[in-house]
Structure 1
């Protein structure tokens, strides 16, 4: 037994040295990539890390966008519901202060919205239905004047112009929608509108209790930051929706009055197009103004078209430089470059609906991220948070 012990010790020593050698080899093998990474300049390492993070974020946003496109009717209904809820929240609070229960107050708010939309639609139709035949004739005359101007001022013959017009007509016929697809789209639109109205009622009625339920499921240090971020995001969405509606209404009134003074036909529908275009910043106002100028050119000639263009530019400059800084608060406003990128991305992902919702989504996300960063950089005391909302509160309070 005593003779065996040294052998056993030697074997153990040999095993230990083998293990140590293997560990050293593993460490040496792993240190190669690590040393190569450390040997890179810090600028390259920073660029690689930021690029990887950007790829992950863009891939996640792309997947979310694709899912939203696949569920387009549901996504549009949800976006419209949240936007209208933020817009109509002050009306609901006013009715609740009048001692109305939650359900009747929400129902009256939805009925008020429907009454305004139906009333405006009926008013526009009654005032402009008789002008469509006149506009058709004036558009024909305007096209004839434009044709004469092109053939007399540019090196283009009548035959070449007729060939170009025929090609455009053939392209329009080829891209005309299928009746079956059109019926399906109309059914989806009607279903989305109905779903949005039902969801709007329930969000107005139970939205704050839903938000309380979400906060009650959160425990620990995340509860205050979620409460503050939710409230900041809801404030931003409400301020954006009401501010955008006010600015779009001012643009529509200003341009509509200019069209009435210049005696441009269909002034009211053009003003309505301007109002709807105001919900797509920069691009929407530009397209609506271009439509107004083209109608003025076709109906009244180049002089009226130039005057209409001057009126559109004047109204938009007053709105952009004077009204928007007053109506839109600092936490809602975004840089024009950010707005253009957001609108372009939304349009590429979801078309017109994406153009409408891209900017408010960007503004809300930026406000939430900024609030979370400020909350984490500021020390907070433990205990009940003063950011928790009261019984009438919610993200919108």
Structure 2
């Protein structure tokens, strides 16, 4: 008689009981949320670390950002000189000298025309703020003491401590050193930038080389389009608002146009601040009617710029949603102040173009893989 299997007499079949994985026991929605949260924490931590490093090396970071921005802006000039068979070193030197000539010439012209008017501009702004305060206290349930306290707190927060001569001298030295370093790096990037990029690509093998090449090309095109488009749009805004101020006979039209041009390099926030300054000066100089007309002109110019000029100049490859721009400008300002506000949007646009290029390349590669035969 055959031996009975253990447990056969009980009529029960034994099964191996495997311990259940706690991770798989979680609902799929919870697992997805945990994974995305972990990725977000890693990304934010990496960006924060990079921001802290950039703050520690602020002069170098500003010089590098200015160099890359100017290189993308001046690259078409260099290419035109190279097509005329100008040697690379001479073409780069001529491009840098052209930039210096434009900056020095425009700076000297603007200084001669507006230097004597900035004191008057400060007085007009003070008068405009006073008239705005009178309007607020007369129409809203806010007393003069409460409003003065709010204004004093905001002024103290903006001004900070009293200026330190040593700190001011150090800041001036750092600015001069950053500008000099940016010019030297600009020359070398214009001269050898493409060969440097080809050297980087030559060190890569496999399919990653094509992805990096396409992503780098797309990011560089985006930065160039952004730099040239931003300068053109800022100039158009300055001319439009400046002409409106001249027609309305608002004083200090040229300094206000200059502020509008500089504000154009900080999307949304810069234009809003520049428009508010123009309205305050118009209110102080010519009263509420001219201020309202100035406000209407500023809004009209900005609407034409945002809905007509920007889509034509920037193209779709550079355009970002206004919410993304606001978040980027705010984050850049919090991390690196005014310099961060200037560079946050181009960095975001370039990163988005690189990520989009990589995703499209991977999607194309996935579709190109033939399906395995059945059976």
Answer whether TM exceeds 0.5 for this pair: yes
- 1:21-80 CA distance string (max 9 Å, x none): xxxx9x96xx45xx2211111111111111111111111111111111111110011011
Say whether residues 1:82 and 2:75 are aligned partners.
no
Say whether residues 1:124 and 2:97 are aligned partners.
no
Which of residues 294, 305, 319 is equivalent to 2:280? 294
Contact 1:334-1:363 at 8 Å conserved across structures: yes
Say whether residues 1:73 and 2:59 are aligned partners.
yes
The two structures, once aligned, show a CA RMSD in angstroms of 2.7
How far apart in 2 are the matches of 1:202 and 1:306?
50
Shift of the 174–372 alpha-carbon distance from structure 1 to 2, 3 Å rule, reads closer
Contact 2:238-2:257 at 8 Å conserved across structures: yes
Shift of the 215–114 alpha-carbon distance from structure 1 to 2, 3 Å rule, reads same
User: Which residues in structure 2 correspond to 1:3-82 (within 5 Å)?
Assistant: 31-32=19-20, 35-82=21-68
Say whether residues 1:182 and 2:164 are aligned partners.
no
Give the aligned partner of residue 338 of structure 1.
Answer: 324
Give the aligned partner of residue 254 of structure 1.
Answer: 240
Contact 2:275-2:295 at 8 Å conserved across structures: yes
Structure-2-length-normalised TM-score? 0.86
Say whether residues 1:226 and 2:194 are aligned partners.
no
User: Which residues in structure 2 correspond to 1:171-320 (within 5 Å)?
Assistant: 175-320=161-306
Size of the aligned set, in residue pairs, is 352
Say whether residues 1:348 and 2:334 are aligned partners.
yes
Say whether residues 1:378 and 2:364 are aligned partners.
yes
State the Cα distance separating 1:175 from its structure 2 match. 2.6
Shift of the 145–228 alpha-carbon distance from structure 1 to 2, 3 Å rule, reads closer
State the Cα distance separating 1:379 from its structure 2 match. 3.5
Gaps of 5+ in 1: 1-24, 381-397
State the Cα distance separating 1:128 from its structure 2 match. 2.0
Shift of the 137–360 alpha-carbon distance from structure 1 to 2, 3 Å rule, reads closer
State the Cα distance separating 1:155 from its structure 2 match. 7.0
Give the SS at the match of 1:334.
coil
How far apart in 2 are the matches of 1:283 and 1:251?
14
Shift of the 196–321 alpha-carbon distance from structure 1 to 2, 3 Å rule, reads same
Shift of the 99–82 alpha-carbon distance from structure 1 to 2, 3 Å rule, reads same
Gaps of 5+ in 2: 1-15, 367-375
Shift of the 45–332 alpha-carbon distance from structure 1 to 2, 3 Å rule, reads same
How far apart in 2 are the matches of 1:231 and 1:173?
43
Higher gyration radius (CA): 1
Contact 1:142-1:301 at 8 Å conserved across structures: no
Contact 1:233-1:368 at 8 Å conserved across structures: yes
How far apart in 1 are the matches of 2:334 and 2:150?
28
Contact 1:135-1:299 at 8 Å conserved across structures: no
